[in-house]
Structure 1
Amino acid sequence: MGVSSDTTIAEFEWDVPTSYTVVSAVESHAETFGDRVAVRFRDEDGTRTERTYADVRDDTNRFANALTDHGVGTGDRVLHLFPRHPEAFTIQLGVLSTGALVVPCSSMLRPADVAFRANDCSATTIVVHESLTDMVEPVLEETPLERVIVLDGESGEGGEEGESGDDGDDDRFRTYESIVDGQPTEYDGPDLEAEDPMSINYTSGTTGKPKPVLHKHRWQYCFNRINAPYWWGIDEDTDLEDELLWATTGTGWAKWFWSPVGVGLTTGATQFVYDGEFDPETFLELLESEGVTRLCAVPTQYRMLANADLEAYDVDLTDALSAGEPLNQEPIERIEDVWGVTPRDGYGQTETVALVTNYPGIDVKPGSMGQPTPGVGATILGLDEDEPVDPGEIGEIAVPVDSPAIFDGYYEKPDLDERTLSGDYYRTGDLATRDEDGYFFFEGRADDVIISAGYRIGPFEVEDALVSHEAVAEAAAVDSPHEKRGSVVTAYVVLAEGYDGNDDLETKLQEYTKAETAPYKYPRRIEFVDELPKTASGKIRRVELRQEEREKHG
């Protein structure tokens, strides 16, 4: 798909079908090409499972019937906590079919995180994999959860009424397998529409407690119209029978809805799901043996892949997509040189679809998020006013509040809605600059901007310069109080193997940063650390580092 950005944006029109839901899309696929594989699954042991679109539809209806029999209905909130699994789509679609809201939870969460989410949205049901029940059981009594459905559970874990895996008298527990057994493959549920509530996706909590982002079924249609063509490169002319999509995300993240659900299921593609820890050689072998044509991974994975022996693998990739944080130039060039595929960065949030991407038809600029996707209206506003900034000036990425491609508020948080959505724009809290060609460059979170001696400094440019040095594995830049300058840049640095932090290396890194970016942006203080504080999704919690700096220098 090759198009000019100006033409695409000018010609784009929204036309959201009133009756659209991802459930109805899958039903349509099952009727049209029910024998097409929807998901090809492999685990670390090499076990393979396939589900056709007809299988997904039938198993979705079985689970929806089971949920209805157990009292789950329209408006209820259902948490799920499981790894990548062959039944992931069935469970999510089954919940949605009942009119309930799905509340994804990452398998990396801790019991307190699960309790927070259950209490915050008053969830009454959770579907949990048997390997993760210890995340639920310790906090069950302090939550409104009435039903615990155990996936892959043994017959003693709630297989019959009144049974549980522990004391035998907790009738909240059931196994997934027991409640779907014998259920019909047809389901007569509520009539759902695009403007009905669909999910509550919690943010990562980089600056505070996670926020409950409410999305309607329209969200998935927007992914079909935006993420599919303007990030994945999949449009109505794509022959999906020749495609295999692989998004490495987990089931608990918004990115699962961005790609496996919002692109894979809505378009009717076949997608590969691997349940295993990331290992470069393993992933490269899977890319080759499975014949993956389009890959979506996070920058850390691309960096590790780029350091492996790429030449040893014969892959069929036509597209490589990156999201989560900016991807630096070195892995882009390495993958491009060996495979002839240029990784294309994209940007969005839990609250949105893909707002800015290096979409097919525009040149990729290393380090750039790309250009605004058609129909969304993303722009960069001044930090203190609702006016677009000039090229090269740091501002905040924003989207008109009437754009169909953003969320519908925070679940039962009217005060937060008032602060966030009452103006003309939804401000993302992410900083960026725009060059003369309209390409966006990420500069950090609005809370993370560093003002030193009157200069506004985005942390990412400092971090990007540091990690390009062979001695640096990871870096985080924050502001640190300074008597004369107000604040200075402090960099927390995790060193690569074989390097020791000392005064000499600190000086070398400072001089290196001055050469890589504007000299005034260099870190005047460097702290060598073993690891950086991160959220469960792997995002750096700079708020903790800023607090540490205030305690030391405030």
Structure 2
Amino acid sequence: MRTFLKSWIPQCLWILRSPSRTFHGNNRLLTFQITSHYESINQGEKEVPEYFNFASDVLDKWTQLEKVGRKPANPAFWWVSDKGEEVKWSFEEFGSLSKKTANVLSEACGLRRGDRIVAILPRVPEWWLLNVACMRAGIIFFPGTSQLTAKDILYRLQASKAKCIVTNDTLAPAVESVLSGSEFLKSKLIVGQGSRDGWLNFKELLAVASADHICIKTRSHDPMLVYFTSGTTGFPKMVLHSYSSYGIGFATTGRRWLDLTPSDVMWNTSDTGWAKSAYGSVFSPWICGACVFIHNLPQFQPEVIGQTLSKYPITTFCTAPTGFRMLVQHDMSRYRFPSLKHCVTGGEALNPEVFSQWRTQTGVDIHEGYGQTETVAICANLKGMKIKPGSLGKPVPPYDVQIVDEHGAVVPQGEEGTIAVRVKPTRPFCLFSEYLDNPEKTAATLCGDFYLTGDRGFMDKEGYIWFVGRADDIINSAGYRIGPFEVESALMEHPAVVEAAVVSSPDPVRGEVVKAFVVLAPLYESRDQKKLALELQQHVKKVTAPYKYPRKVEFVKELPKTVTGKIQRNVLRGKEWAKV
């Protein structure tokens, strides 16, 4: 690594000192110098290094650039609250604070390399410090959403065997209520102003901690991070990632999909317990030297989103398709976004109608991407590509993405199958290591030469991947296989529909039929529901193949969703089939 530093720092200094180059140009060239090294690994042009640590090999490099006389155009980290509070840290400041945090974990909490820590926090700056501090100390980080219940917390503590938990005043009582079942827990760290009996106070410890810390030397394939999957059935699985899988694997994501440089400010609204926070709030922006922008956003409020995009110099915005649906219903054309140039989404499929409305209201396209907690971005509508609304885009290196049948054989273009990633003869380094402590589930993801995503789709003649639905969500009605997403998208084109979820419903003749659960726009809530249901059925018949129309329609106030905002079709489907 020292050799690499010697090679690129003089080049960066030459770029910085050149009077003929603009600062924006400098940043793009700097990004090329730093990011391209790791992107070349994604492209298969270079080998994965034996040793790698994102804190020392990426973040501390940006700190060194600041020390030699020139900082990126924006801070490394920029946090704002709904009360107008702000926190801005340069890479150097963030580096110093994360080193102090590493010492807090090691000295005050008694954690050692390989120990496990569960962090259940909302979007507060301390979450980012803990994330990077764990990398520095070799501690395995288990994030969790602040929406977890006491039962959820107990499961995570038992499954992770964590020796430490970090949370805030709000969730501390829930943690205390399950301590009797947490036999591995040795220390509790609280983030907040006040003290609590039996808890260590993070703020107080950080104030007296030393910034003198030497980053642990970690191998690329050492365990770094574990996310709990949201899970549609059963208990959440623990998805283990190594230092290189996320740390290096997001180089292409940041540069090609998010289109980030040090001049950019990236705002990703994801909850800290969702892997999308790793995608858009940690690894992708920072490997490109961009600013991570965070709003504490206690609730997703379209008005707050619009005001924030208007007030701050945010250039890249990411939220889930559910968020974009809420935003276009709010009508974003009433705002002006002087800095916004690039929008991305992922986590569930984006309806083409939402894509169209967003572009009409803001003038900016949405670049949809597709990935899982187990992967980095698998497919994406990369910057500069032709966007096909409704498509997941094309495969992102290093993944070879194919559509396969139940035997793992590649199917012809246009034919539906399972979206899969080739893992033989070489398993992509940025694919998850395993489901921790669950070898059976890990083995079940493989079929022939492929890792199976569990999602159904097809590939068109231009190589674009199109999502059909989760394998369990496919509806088989009288021999017709129907993907819920296409029907939902058709419904979304009708002005009466705010959200829709489509599932199978038992039928004595057809075995099962399509049923739609629909959330209505306010102007349509008082309409005759029988007539409106018929109107929606006729609309779907016109928009897509007639056999796909929902033979049953139920109007609801809201749809069940996971803590990450994904619609839980399995919950609706379960209720339907429980009636049999």
TM-score clears 0.5: yes
How far apart in 2 are the matches of 1:203 and 1:196? 20
Q: 1:57 aligns with which of 92, 95, 105?
A: 95
Residue 354 of structure 1 is matched in structure 2 by 377
Query: 1:168-196 CA deviation, whole Å, 9 max, x = no partner?
Result: xx3xx101022223222121353112111
Q: What code does the residue aligned with 1:278 have?
A: F
1:354 counterpart SS class: coil
2:539 counterpart SS class: helix
Deviation at 1:286, TM superposition (A): 1.6
Q: 1:15 aligns with which of 47, 71, 84?
A: 47
Matched, 1:447 2:472: yes
TM-score by length of structure 2 reads: 0.86
1:113-512 matches, cutoff 5 A: 113-143=152-182, 144-154=184-194, 156-157=195-196, 164=197, 170=198, 173-234=199-260, 238=261, 240=262, 242-276=263-297, 277-306=299-328, 307-382=330-405, 384-401=406-423, 402-421=427-446, 423-497=448-522, 498-499=524-525, 500=527, 502-512=529-539
Q: What code does the residue aligned with 1:38 have?
A: A
2:378 counterpart SS class: strand
CA contact (8 A) 1:280 1:308 kept: no
How far apart in 1 are the matches of 2:43 and 2:114? 37
Distance 1:138 1:318, change over 3 A: same
Deviation at 1:205, TM superposition (A): 1.3
Deviation at 1:45, TM superposition (A): 0.4
1:370 counterpart SS class: strand
Distance 1:309 1:548, change over 3 A: closer
Distance 1:532 1:43, change over 3 A: same
Distance 1:403 1:11, change over 3 A: closer
How far apart in 2 are the matches of 1:304 and 1:536? 16
Residue 524 of structure 1 is matched in structure 2 by 551
Distance 1:114 1:392, change over 3 A: same
Residue 12 of structure 2 is matched in structure 1 by none
Distance 1:414 1:65, change over 3 A: same
Residue 62 of structure 2 is matched in structure 1 by 29
CA contact (8 A) 1:9 1:373 kept: no
How far apart in 2 are the matches of 1:26 and 1:345? 27
How far apart in 2 are the matches of 1:148 and 1:416? 31
TM-score by length of structure 1 reads: 0.90
**Sequence identity of aligned pairs in percent?**
35
Residue segments in structure 1 that go unaligned for 5+ positions in a row: 2-7, 158-163, 165-169
CA contact (8 A) 1:230 1:373 kept: no
Residue 161 of structure 1 is matched in structure 2 by none
Q: 2:569 aligns with which of 539, 542, 551?
A: 542
Deviation at 1:379, TM superposition (A): 1.6
How far apart in 1 are the matches of 2:42 and 2:278? 27
Query: 1:400-455 CA deviation, whole Å, 9 max, x = no partner?
Result: 23122210110111121222247421111111122222211211111111111222
CA contact (8 A) 2:318 2:345 kept: yes
Deviation at 1:104, TM superposition (A): 0.4
Deviation at 1:351, TM superposition (A): 0.4
Q: What code does the residue aligned with 1:304 have?
A: M
CA contact (8 A) 2:143 2:273 kept: yes
Distance 1:336 1:517, change over 3 A: same
Query: 1:476-518 CA deviation, whole Å, 9 max, x = no partner?
Result: 1112222332221122222222325632222211111111111
After superposing the two structures, state which structure 1 stretch, 518-527 or 337-346, moved more.
337-346
Q: 1:73 aligns with which of 101, 112, 124?
A: 112
CA contact (8 A) 2:246 2:430 kept: no
1:253 counterpart SS class: coil
How far apart in 2 are the matches of 1:206 and 1:151? 31
CA contact (8 A) 2:119 2:127 kept: no
CA contact (8 A) 1:323 1:347 kept: yes
How far apart in 2 are the matches of 1:354 and 1:495? 33
How far apart in 1 are the matches of 2:414 and 2:324? 28
How far apart in 1 are the matches of 2:566 and 2:322? 11
How far apart in 1 are the matches of 2:282 and 2:185? 26
Deviation at 1:9, TM superposition (A): 13
Deviation at 1:13, TM superposition (A): 3.4
Distance 1:538 1:311, change over 3 A: closer
CA contact (8 A) 2:168 2:190 kept: yes
What is the CA RMSD across the aligned residues, in angstroms?
2.1
Deviation at 1:113, TM superposition (A): 0.9
CA contact (8 A) 1:23 1:96 kept: yes
Query: 1:45-79 CA deviation, whole Å, 9 max, x = no partner?
Result: 01111111111111111111121113211221100
After superposing the two structures, state which structure 1 stretch, 417-426 or 190-199, moved more.
417-426
Residue segments in structure 2 that go unaligned for 5+ positions in a row: 1-27, 29-39
After superposing the two structures, state which structure 1 stretch, 100-109 or 18-27, moved more.
18-27
Deviation at 1:309, TM superposition (A): 4.3
Q: What code does the residue aligned with 1:195 have?
A: H
Residue 160 of structure 1 is matched in structure 2 by none
CA contact (8 A) 1:475 1:493 kept: yes
Distance 1:440 1:270, change over 3 A: same
Query: 1:349-385 CA deviation, whole Å, 9 max, x = no partner?
Result: 0000011100012101111111111221122112x22
CA contact (8 A) 2:52 2:217 kept: no
